[in-house]
Amino acid sequence: MIIRIYDGGNTIGGNKIYVRDGQHGIFLDFGLNFAVSGRYFKEFINTRAGRGLHDFLEMGLVPEINAYREDSIPADVDKSRLVDIPVDAVLISHAHMDHYGLAGLLKFSIPIVASPESLAIMKAYQDTGQTKLENSVLYSPLREPLESSVPLIKSTGGKIRNREKADMYLKHRKIIPTENIGTELYEFLTELGYAHKTEFMRENMEVGAPDDNPWKIRAHTVDHSIYGAVGYTIDTDEHSIAYTGDLRMHGERGAETEKFANMAKGAEILITEGTRVSDDREHIYISESAVYENCTAAVGDHDGEMIIADFSARNFERLNMFVRIAEENGRNLVIMENDAHAVAGLLAAGTQIAHENLYVYQKPTDRVDWWKKLVRDSELWNDKLLTPVDVRENPGDYILAFSLYDMPNLMDLKPDGGMYLYSSTEAFNEDMELDFVTLSNWLRRYNLKSVGFSMKNGKPKFEHGFHASGHAAPEDLERFIDTINPEIIIPVHTENRHWFEERWPEKMHTEEFIKLKK
């Protein structure tokens, strides 16, 4: 058996872990490496849509393997350099972009294995986000060559205006849910807003069963900062593997992580994340329950004032927490329309979201996309749509789930005082620090007090206790690994492999290419 760490071995994120045994192979995640991407690309500097796979290969963002969509490859890419490997499936651990954000580049014949919740989240944010080749994971228009002195490709999406064109140009990927999905989620996954596209998807999108793989693959829910996260155990013909994805023990589903450790007990090989392991022995790890207590206290100090809560858009556990905090303070939580679309998908997947106290903010727009029309016409939200005037006249009735990118809405809301509660990750690079300079300018402009961070000498300083990591504390991870007690440990998603070498020196494998004999 061969295990190759194409990406994510000595960095946080970008996992692309390939496992091959005989004539079969799978990828464990196929994510975007933000560290590598950030060296070359930022806002307004991006890979070029018309050059397809070329730019990703050129900048080392994807491995040189023959597993990519033919319609993504310009004529000047030398296909002979792409190594043939079997890829039977990609197992997605969870719906964060650093774990699935490049899977849209893969051949449509390669199915995606993911939990129902992850499928709902990926579909929702594909619907509502920018149409990009790399994150068009579940569906995509075909692309075609464009005559040019530099070989280009162009999207044919604009041609899909009837059923015949959908048959010709619209492609979908087989999905293999880790557990059975119902009619409601299937309809959400195949809804594209236009009758001819939706009809095509519902007639043709293939949904496999968990045993539609050459090996025995089992998934188990784990706790992370996004719903739908799973760990996997894989039994090949020769070896047994456990893969953690990202996990922690201190959130709403922490007990599920413990169950996964027991389910994976005795696996020969453990491929594990190590995001939070550090030589800083004094670091204090905060639990979600502590975040709830601190945020509740902060909100209670601002009766009648505008309150904005900034937490990760995909952290639906934190969303549920702020729904609870809002209700306990006589308020309702207000989310943006793209997040409302994702909530609808999670509800279809059977997730418990406290939507009775959720409202949807309709920002002024000159275009109503198909998914926005779904939100606005949905029975789920039809009496919970708020205009800027509604919020402006009754700011004390709501907590607004806004981030930096929603700050322009303040020009319509015109607050004069209130609180901005930051409950998300700390800045870990210069670009993120600059974002807080911009954010603080907005807050000063509208006299909003910041809680969770402050600015000092032009840089953000973060207050302890308003955010909890999505990753396991070192002592929790150590206990988790000892429970499984593998023969071989392969750390990924970490910048500190030394931590593992100290504890399990005889079990450690840090090579990018590992070949195991039966």
User: Where do the domains of the chain lie?
Assistant: 2-278+471-515, 288-462
pLDDT given at position 43: 81
Q: Which CATH number applies to 2-278+471-515?
A: 3.60.15.10
Alpha helices in 48-96 (DSSP H): 53-58
Give the whole-angstrom CA distance, residue 468 versus residue 487. 32
Cα–Cα distance list, 449 to 39, 63, 258, 423, 427 (Å) = 34, 46, 40, 14, 19
Judge residue 286's burial from the number of C-beta atoms within 10 Å of its C-beta, 0-12 exposed, 13-18 middle, 19 or more buried.
middle
pLDDT score at 279: 55
Give every strand in the sheet of 89-91, ordered side by side.
175-177, 112-114, 89-91, 24-28, 16-21, 2-7, 513-515
Cα-based torsion angle of the residue sequence 95, 97, 100, 105 in order, rounded to the nearest 10 degrees? 140
pLDDT at residue 280, rounded to an integer? 60
Q: How far is CA 98 from CA 31, 35, 61, 175, 258, in A?
A: 4, 10, 12, 20, 24
d(CA 325, CA 292): 8
Nearest to 349 by CA among 40, 95, 164, 8: 95
C-alpha 353/C-alpha 344 separation (Å) is: 9
DSSP state of 70: G
Hey, which CATH number is domain 288-462, 3.40.50.970, 3.30.1490.100, 3.40.50.10710, 3.30.565.10? 3.40.50.10710
How many residues appear in the chain? Answer: 518
SS3 403: coil
Q: What is the pLDDT of residue 283?
A: 56
Instruction: Of 377, 373, 344, 370, give the one whose Cα is nearest residue 358.
Output: 344
Pairwise CA distance, residues 34 & 445, whole Å: 32
**The pLDDT value given to residue 282:** 47
Q: What are phi and psi of 4, to 5 degrees?
A: -125, 125
Alpha-carbon 157 to chain mean position:
25
Output the CA–CA distances (angstroms, integers) from residue 362 to 41, 70, 127, 307, 340, in the order listed. Answer: 31, 40, 17, 18, 11
* pLDDT of the residue at 302: 82
How many other C-beta atoms can be found within 10 angstroms of the C-beta atom of residue 83?
Answer: 10
Query: How far, in Å, CA of 318 to CA of 77, rounded?
Result: 44
CA distance 172 to 319: 31
Please identify every stretch of the chain with a pLDDT value under 70, giving residue numbers as ranges.
279-284, 518
pLDDT at 297: 95
Note whether 311 and 187 are within 8 A (CB): no
Would you state the pLDDT for residue 47? 94
pTM for the whole structure: 0.96
Question: Crossing angle, helix 116-128 and helix 337-348, to 10 degrees?
Answer: 150
